[in-house]
Every structure is written in C-alpha cells, then in structure tokens.
Copies of this chain bind each other. A is one copy, B any other.
Amino acid sequence: MMAPPLKLGIAGLGTVGAELVRLLRANRDQLGGRCGRLIHIAGVCARDRGRGRGVDLSGYAWFDDPVTLATERKVDVFVELIGGEEGAARASVEAALGAGTHVVTANKALLATHGAALAAMAEQSGVALNYEAAVAAAIPVVKVLREGLAGNRMTRVSGILNGTCNYILTVMEREQREFDDVLAEAQALGYAEADPEFDIGGHDTAHKLAILTSLAFATRPALGDVYIEGITKVTLHDIRAVDQLGYRIKLLGVAQDTGNGIEQRVHPTLVSKSSPIADVGGAFNAIVIEADAAGSLMLEGQGAGAAPTVSAVISDIVDIACGGKRAVFGTQASDLATYQRARMRAHEGGYYIGLKAHDRPGAVAGIAKAMADQSISLESIIQRADPDEAGDVAPDGESRSMPVALVTHETNEAAIRTALETIRADGHIAEPPHMIRIEQI
C-alpha cells in the first residue's frame, strides 16, 4: 500500500519552475516507485499569472504570495525557485521553516548568506532544508559531501563552478582570442549575461564555494570571507605563456584546510595539463574533493540550465519523500564551527608571474634578485615571447619591453607580493605584473 502523496508548493515559475512541473508530470509513476508514494503539486506561485510558460498550470491552486503558499497547511514541501538572498525568497523560506514545512531551494545566495540561521531553523522545526541545485546544478556534490563522504575528513575542495567563465577561458585558449572579444560573443549568444560581473568577477563561484566549504569543513557559511579575483585580467598572452609551461588557466574556487584556518579563495588558477580538471572544457562544471579515506574524487557535469537544475531539485524532493533526516550542512547546526579564515598573505603554493620587463641590461637580473631576496626559487623562466608577440616599442620610443614568464616553486603569498612590489619600485617592468596562483590537483 502506498503512503499518502507528498504535496509540493512551488514558488517561482521561470524556466526552472516550468521544467520542474513538466518533469514531475512526465515521470509521475517512476517517481512514485522510488519511495512508494506519489509526488503531487498542491499549489504554485509566481508574480505574473498571465505569462505563458509552455506548461499547463490550470490544474494547480494559484497563489500570488509565496509566504502564503509556504505556510499553506496542505503543503509538505515548499520549493523555492524565486532567487535572491532577501525579499520574497528569504521571507517565504523562513515562513516555511517556521511553520514546520520542508524546504527545497536552488538559491545559492540565500544559503551562502543566511545558511547557518536557516539550518538552525530547519533543525529546530525538524524539517529538511535541501539545496542540491544551489551548487553545480546536475552534479550531486551536496549529496556527495553531506552523505557520500560522511566518514571522511576533507582536506581540500576545488571546483570549476561557473560555466560562463570556463566557457570564456576555453574559447580563449582554443581559438587564441582575447578576453573582451570572447565575452562579447558569449553575450551575443546568450552564454553570458548582459551584466556579466556576477559571473566573470568570481562572485557566483564565491557563493557556491561558501556552501561547499561549510559542507566540507562543518563551518558556518562565510561568504564575506571568500578571497575573490575574477577572470577579467586573464590575457591571451598569459594563456599562451602557461601553455608552453604545461599549464592551463581555470577559474577555481578552492576551500582548503591549512591547519591554520581554512582558505576560501576564488581566482584564476594554473592547473597542470595532466590533471583531470584541466580537461574540463566549455560550460561544464567539475569538483575535486580530497579526503582522508576516499582519496581524490572528481565529479564533472552540467552546472547550469533548466533541466540539470531540475534534476537536482527532484532529487531533493525524493529525498524528503523517502524520509530520513540529514543535518543541513552535514553536521548539526549547533555543532557548526565559526569559520576561521586563513589569511591570503599566508597562502602557500607556486605562482606564475607574467611580466613585461624593460629590454635593457639588468632588468631580468633585477627581477631574479628580487625573487631570490624573498627566498623564492624558480621552477622555470621563459624570457623570449612567442613569435606572434614580439616585444613592444614603448610610445615614447625610448625602450622596448620583453615578456618574461616565471613559474616559482612553492613559496608564500607575502613573499611574492613583496618581490613584485620591489620589482615594480625598481622600475624593471613596463606594466603591472600578472600573478596567477598554481594549484596542484
């Protein structure tokens, strides 16, 4: 005998909400067979009732106000697809949790900003707060960290978490084109937003990283403590230079337990071309998790789009239908630690430095000395540019500049910053250096 159906209230009927309704209907019996109970839609809610959505909503109770839907007594699970960390999304999720209604959301901003408080509310009410779709869409990384690796201590989580950035970097390399050019094309094709700053500035990645950090290290989400550099300064010259050295540039979000606090950083990153994450191209996302028992685990898949997002949302709904109780961030909310930031100046790793040195006696020697004075040893140095990019003549005609690419052995960020400041102050370089961190994955 089947258990009574699980009744959903769905707030937000954009492309994701409409696809969710469509798939719940198309796969009704299959989903019923998963847990021995059917999944029903008890009500839906959006701002504009009249808008065409390509899916028949006439059979469902309509709500104008998501808070009303969230607290409607016959709703077992409130599905929040409104978006944004404040406003209707926050109000309705809080109302649902307060009313003892399970919540499924795709809202990364809400979780990254208010996750700890929402987790406490959910546990207080004894309900689920599931958010698989908030990070990397179809890739079940929340489930893998929260459940699949429950027996592990995580040491590092690194991810390509923004498809727009990965698409741009992939096309820059594959087609040997400059950033602005590829961005403009991506915008024209709809792969990048008209206002692309949230993606290319690294902020989208930072939101997702803040959630992954909490899951991996049992800390309260600390979005404000994420170090963020976007991809806007990555040049084709950098991509060519690192290619010669065996690397590729990816925008990574990295959360790492340093033993002296946890680093959360988002920045363009050199990864060895022999590492699996280097081969993740186009709009795909990937996450590499390093853990004591499991070793290294990589998940790669569709990180955006309506259907991949709905795949995650339905998984969250089915988890509730099947019962069981998981702590929101994998650990009871009251046991989550306050995030202890590892300072970026203490970051240890290798670095790529792209410089335009003045082509005159002593410039390279001065650069090398500034590095040596900080005890930075070099893995490689390329002083000659590739033929397409011969040294530039300065506007005043006085001196030519010559590209120099350096890769350091492991050092720390304070030493690098000091060395680069010295190089700049000594007048050896014609423009600000490009410094890109290397990650051994």
Interface residues of A (CB under 8 A from B): 23, 27, 30-31, 33-36, 132, 138-140, 143-144, 147-153, 218, 276, 279-280, 291-302, 305, 307-308, 310-311, 313-315, 317-319, 322-327, 330-332, 335
Contact = CB atoms under 8 A, between A and B. Distances in A.
A280 B297 CA distance: 12
Contacts of A310: 151, 293
A150 B301 contact: no
B324 A307 contact: no
A170 to B, nearest CB: 13
Contacts of A301: 294-298
Contact of A315 (B36, B151, B218): B151
User: Which 4 A/B pairs are nearest by Cβ-Cβ distance?
Assistant: A324-B324, A151-B314, A140-B148, A138-B294
User: Oligomeric state, in number of copies?
Assistant: 2
A291 B305 CA distance: 14
B149 A331 contact: no
- Please report whether the interface of chain A is mostly helix, strand, loop or mixed according to DSSP: mixed
A300 B30 CA distance: 28
Given A147-B143, A147-B318, A322-B326, A297 B298 contact: no
A202 B263 CA distance: 43
Contact of A311 (B34, B140, B291): B291
A319 B325 CA distance: 9
A298 B295 contact: no
A414 B349 CA distance: 56
Given A311-B291, A318-B151, A324-B325, A298 B299 contact: yes
A331 B294 contact: no
Given A295-B302, A310-B293, A322-B325, A140 B151 contact: no
Nearest to A305: B295
Contacts of A36: 327, 332
18 contacts: A23-B151, A27-B151, A30-B153, A34-B150, A35-B325, A35-B327, A140-B149, A143-B144, A149-B315, A150-B315, A293-B311, A293-B314, A294-B301, A295-B308, A296-B302, A299-B299, A300-B300, A324-B325
A140 B310 CA distance: 21
A297 B139 contact: yes
Contact of A308 (B276, B294, B298): B294
Given A143-B143, A293-B308, A298-B301, 9 more contacts: A33-B218, A33-B332, A34-B150, A150-B315, A294-B302, A295-B305, A295-B308, A298-B299, A322-B325
A315 B147 contact: yes
Contact of A34 (B143, B314, B317, B327): B327
A36 B291 CA distance: 22
Given A149-B140, A322-B324, A330 B297 contact: no
Contacts of A299: 297-300
Given A147-B319, A325-B323, A34 B298 contact: no
A36 B325 CA distance: 10
A53 to B, nearest CB: 18
Contact of A295 (B27, B138, B314): B138
A296 B323 CA distance: 28
A140 B308 CA distance: 19
Nearest to A24: B151
A306 to B, nearest CB: 9
Contacts of A325: 35, 322-324
Contacts of A291: 311
Identify which of A153, A293, A299 gathers the most chain B CB atoms within 10 Å of its CB: A293
B149 A144 contact: no
Nearest to A326: B322
A151 B31 contact: yes
Contacts of A314: 150-151, 293
